[in-house]
Amino acid sequence: MNRRYLLAPVAATALLLSACGDSTQNADVIDAVPWAVNDCAVIGPYVGEAEPPAGSTVETTVAVLSVTDTAPLVSIEVDAPPATSLQKIDLVEGTGDPVAKGAPITVEYCGVGLATRKIFDSSWSRGQPASFSLSGVIEGWQEGIPGMKPGGERLLIIPGALAYGPNPPSAEILPDETLVFVVTLISDDSPQPITEKWAVSDCTEVGQAVGAAQPPADSVTEGAVAVAGAEGAAPTVSIEADAAPATTLQTFDLQQGSGPAVTEGATITVQYCGLGLTTRRVFDSSWARGEPVSFPLTGVIAGWQEGIPGMKAGGRRVLVIPGDKAYGPTPPGPEILENETLIFVVDVISIDD
């Protein structure tokens, strides 16, 4: 549905959003030194060397020396030409299932500019791994990380067009610069399949659900959807296995509000929780963010524009929205499937116009 979800996509932690280096580093280093050697444990001056450290894996103008559980050393050769296509080289294969496109992952990584030959960001320097969804990072990561397996280490050489192009996020990255990343995949954080008859989600958490033989005892059940929860509190939503996609918009009120009714196109303040009928998981929730959201109904999906009018402040309504009144074939992120039926539980807090 909601505008908030589209305006606030998954954040990518410090990765690719901010640079941490010192733009004055190596000002006294002569560019003729053949190799610049960077230690990913710190964001600091590189060391000029005649060749990469012994034991490095060399890929033309980039070399990586990795030791298990230790930040790598990344060396860049002087006058390395910009990349024209994405290059991905596995330094360690990893085991288990490969990461899928758009998956949530936890990684250690180090980013170096090919032209500056300097580190601009490193999770190793911060002392902790980074977790984020691949749907929220630069295109070079979206294309370059899928296929990795937990425990694997991959070298990415990303052309400027698949990185930040002419608008880098800080002076540490040059316009259209080729970026070099060494990435260790710690885990694929994708939710595990739920095999039980019901998937039960607490709307205070996104992406979480537990399997159960039946919904909570205080649930109100309508077909394959059950909702429990006290007035004003975040609901618990249960979805039955093999629930059939909706063909028409369905609404049912769990609680009647009072006062004037919401009119078509009104601006409202709500708490809400959104789930996919097929995935059976929460993909967005204002309760999870800890605050209501305000927006005009003119700016949201058709299922909300048609399903919310008539509600009153203090009311709670369940919307079962067919794919053609939701996001259809172009959902805003991998958490929502193409043409998926969406379930929303909506509390109207106020009507603002």
Distance CA 221, CA 241 (A): 14
What span, in angstroms and rounded, lies between the C-alpha atoms of 220 and 208?
21
User: What phi, psi does 53 have (nearest 5°)?
Assistant: -60, 145
Residue 274: strand, helix, or coil: strand
What span, in angstroms and rounded, lies between the C-alpha atoms of 36 and 152? 25
Task: Delineate the domains of the chain, giving CATH numbers in brackets.
Answer: 11-188 (3.10.50.40), 198-351 (3.10.50.40)
CA distance 280 to 239: 6
The vertex-195 CA angle with 190 and 200, nearest 5°, equals: 75
The predicted structure's pLDDT at residue 31: 57
Angle at 218 between CA 326 and CA 225, to 5 degrees: 25
First to last CA, the chain: 20
Q: Compute mean pLDDT per 10 residues along the chain, 353 residues long, and list them.
A: 28 36 42 88 93 95 91 96 97 93 92 97 95 90 96 97 95 97 92 88 92 95 95 95 96 96 97 96 95 96 98 98 96 87 98 88
d(CA 265, CA 288): 26
Of 126, 159, 123, 124, which Cα lies nearest the Cα of 141? Answer: 159
Q: Write out the two tokens for 174.
A: 């040059």
Tokens 């524009």 belong to residue: 305
Q: Look at strands 293-296 and 267-276 and give their pairing.
A: antiparallel
Say how far apart CA 3 and CA 278 lie, in whole Å.
22
Q: What is the pLDDT of residue 32?
A: 66
Backbone dihedral angles phi then psi of residue 306, each to the nearest 5 degrees:
-90, -25
